[in-house]
Amino acid sequence: MKIGIVSDTHRNKEYLHLVVNWLISKKHITQLYHLGDDYEDVIDLADKGIELVQVPGIYHKNYLDGSLKKTHIEHIMGLRILLVHSFDKDVDANERTMSDVILFGHTHKAELKLIDGLLLMNPGHLKSTIDKHEKASFGLLDVQDQNVSANIFNLDFEKIMGVELTRTQSGLFKS
């Protein structure tokens, strides 16, 4: 299953639509995960024929008043994937232990880390060409029976980082 991952779009629907159209047409995603800022940016993607899953950013009024959950867990082919905007603020030790993959945003800095079988992925941002000294980027997670690949692309649709992982009972490990 192929899942597009975006974060920190900050009302830049031009970049969001550009990326989502590419992910659908070239990578054939079936789901899109939006990791916050801004929560409402994906509303007009409802007609794209993909499932949309999202969490709010830390400044969203419904995040602040508690009416929207700060985290969301997806179960994809037996993999536990935690979605959150701010890793440092909103991921507790239990969520970290119970997850195979944690997807987060907030920093606008793309990163992929594998720590003791846990994949941490920040797709970066789509706010503008460059923000907080970081170029715009987005992610793709491909979950298969035995393998998981995580890749981050720039706005030229070039892969800028990636990791191929093997699934085991004790977590994810580099292939």
Each residue's pLDDT tens digit, 31-74 = 999 999 999 999 999 999 999 999 999 999 999 999 999 999 99
C-alpha span between 90 and 155 (Å, rounded): 28
Tell me what pLDDT residue 170 has: 85
Tell me what pLDDT residue 45 has: 96
C-alpha span between 85 and 77 (Å, rounded): 23
What structural domains and CATH numbers belong to the chain?
A: 2-174 (3.60.21.10)
> Under a CB-based contact definition with an 8 Å cutoff, are residues 52 and 34 in contact?
yes
Taking the CA atoms of 81, 82, 87 and 91 in sequence, report the sign of the dihedral they define.
Answer: negative
At residue 26, φ and ψ (nearest 5 deg) are: -100, -30
At residue 139, φ and ψ (nearest 5 deg) are: -125, 165
C-alpha span between 61 and 77 (Å, rounded): 33
Q: What residues contact 163, with CB distance under 8 A and at least 6 apart?
A: 112, 114, 119, 149, 150, 151, 174
DSSP category for residue 49? S
For the chain, residues with pLDDT lower than 70 are: none
Bridge partner list, 102: 82, 120
Tell me what pLDDT residue 23 has: 98
pTM of the predicted structure, to 2 decimals: 0.96
Tell me what pLDDT residue 108 has: 97
Within 91-168, residue ranges assigned H as helices are 93-98
Tell me what pLDDT residue 175 has: 85
